[in-house]
């Protein structure tokens, strides 16, 4: 399966008020492996970026002045995501902006008609109900390094989200249990231990430890009536 982990930055929060996309960041994942193939572009929104939005992502009007307009990058962006499953944190926000941008062009394209959409925020809320599930909170929960994330940035956030999503939906990704080579490596990431290894040492309880254990179990049996330990001892 080909997945694209995607994030955008915008001039404001509502495309219905004329706000536009100013940055797109995409990270390609195939069969749960990061391929290293990314898509990243800054976009001239043909309007002012709200001051509040600048405090979030740090992208200024001056910086965007010489960047391409969405119409100039729409085809290459669409070709990159077409047919893939998009993984987006709070997908309704980004997809709403993408559809608004595509609606300005001919032919009109609707994201859901060409891509699958997975909302990683919805997955996080289901796995961790009642907890914070923004990207910073998930990084802390899953041990993903986000120390470079002073401001929001579409590509950086997409790269971080890719790590979080893979950990959140399938366990280990960066560290494999398979050492990677030799007879002891398994195809499924299982490291097999040689039968010729030295036997493990067995440390047996001393007489004092055994007596203390018997006294403790006798107390437990007096309180509970019967213990699993006593039943096991009776069968020996």
Q: Are residues 158 and 102 in the same domain?
A: yes
Same domain (yes/no): 166, 207: no
* Within a domain: 177: no
The answer on whether 9 is annotated among ligand-binding residues is: yes
* Same domain, residue pair 142 and 216: no
| Domain-located, residue 106 | yes
Residue 181 above 70 pLDDT? no
What pLDDT is recorded for position 135?
94
Residues 159 and 119 in one domain: yes
pLDDT winner (highest mean) among 167-171, 175-179, 181-185, 192-196: 167-171
User: CATH no. for residue 102?
Assistant: 3.30.420.10
Q: Using pLDDT thresholds of 50, 70 and 90, give the confidence band for residue 194.
A: low
Given strand 85-88, what is the order of strands in its sheet?
33-42, 21-30, 2-10, 85-88, 116-119
Nearest to 155 by CA among 10, 64, 60, 23: 23
The answer as to whether 178 is a domain residue is: no
Q: Is 152 a catalytic residue?
A: yes
Per-residue HEC secondary structure of 88-122 comes to ECCHHHHHHHHHHHHCCCCCCCCHHHHCEEEEHHH
Distances (CA, A) of 108 to 15, 35, 113: 16, 30, 11
Q: Kind and range of the H or E element at 123?
A: helix 120-127
Catalytic entry in 40, 89, 152, 213: 152
For residue 107, say if its preceding peptide bond is cis, omega within 30 degrees of 0: yes
Same domain, 38 and 85: yes
How does residue 195 score in pLDDT terms, banded at 50, 70 and 90? low
94 shares a domain with 37: yes
The parent domain of residue 11 ranges over 2-170
Does a structural domain hold residue 195? no
Note whether residue 21 is domain-resident: yes
Asked if residue 158 and residue 230 are part of one domain, the reply reads no
Q: Provide the CB-side half-sphere exposure for 78 (13 A, CA).
A: 21
157 is in an annotated binding site: yes
The residue out of 130, 146, 170 marking a domain boundary is 170
Q: How confident is the model at residue 197 (pLDDT cuts 50, 70, 90)?
A: low
Does any domain span residue 145? yes
What's the pLDDT at 64? 97
72-76, 194-198, 203-207: least confidently modelled range? 194-198
Last residue of a domain, one of 146, 170, 194: 170
d(CA 53, CA 14): 12
Q: How many domains does the chain have?
A: 2
**More confident site: 201 or 48:** 48
Q: What is the DSSP letter of 130?
A: T
> How much is the pLDDT for 213?
83
User: Is 187 assigned to a binding site?
Assistant: no
Q: Which tens digits make up the pLDDT trace of 75-108?
A: 999 999 999 999 999 999 999 999 999 999 998 9
For residues 86, 90, 93, 99, the Cα torsion angle rounded to the nearest 10 degrees is 20
Secondary structure, 3-state, 49-91: CCHHHHHHHCCCHHHHCCCCEHHHHHHHHHHHHCCCEEEECCH
């Amino acid at each position: 399966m080909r997945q694209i982990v995607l994030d955008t930055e915008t001039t404001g929060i509502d495309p219905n008020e004329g706000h536009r996309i100013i940055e797109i960041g995409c990270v390609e994942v195939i069969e749960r492996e990061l391929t290293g193939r990314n898509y990243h572009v800054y976009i001239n929104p043909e309007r002012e970026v709200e001051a509040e939005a600048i405090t979030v992502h740090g992208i200024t009007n001056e910086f965007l002045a010489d960047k391409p307009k969405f119409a100039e990058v729409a085809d290459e962006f669409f070709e990159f995501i077409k047919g893939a499953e998009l993984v987006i944190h709070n997908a309704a926000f980004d997809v709403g902006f993408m559809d608004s941008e595509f609606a300005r062009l001919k032919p009109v394209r609707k994201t859901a008609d060409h891509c699958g959409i997975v909302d990683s925020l919805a997955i996080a809320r289901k796995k961790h109900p009642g907890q914070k599930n923004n990207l910073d909170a998930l990084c802390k929960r899953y041990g993903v390094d986000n120390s470079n994330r002073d401001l929001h940035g579409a590509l950086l956030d997409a790269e971080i989200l890719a790590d979080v999503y893979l950990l959140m939906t399938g366990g280990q990704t960066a560290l494999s249990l398979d050492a990677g080579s030799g007879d002891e490596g398994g195809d499924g990431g299982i490291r097999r231990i040689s039968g010729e290894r030295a036997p493990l040492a067995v440390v047996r309880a001393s007489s004092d430890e055994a007596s203390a254990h018997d006294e403790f179990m006798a107390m437990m049996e007096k309180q509970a009536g019967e213990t699993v330990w006593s039943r096991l001892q009776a069968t020996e």
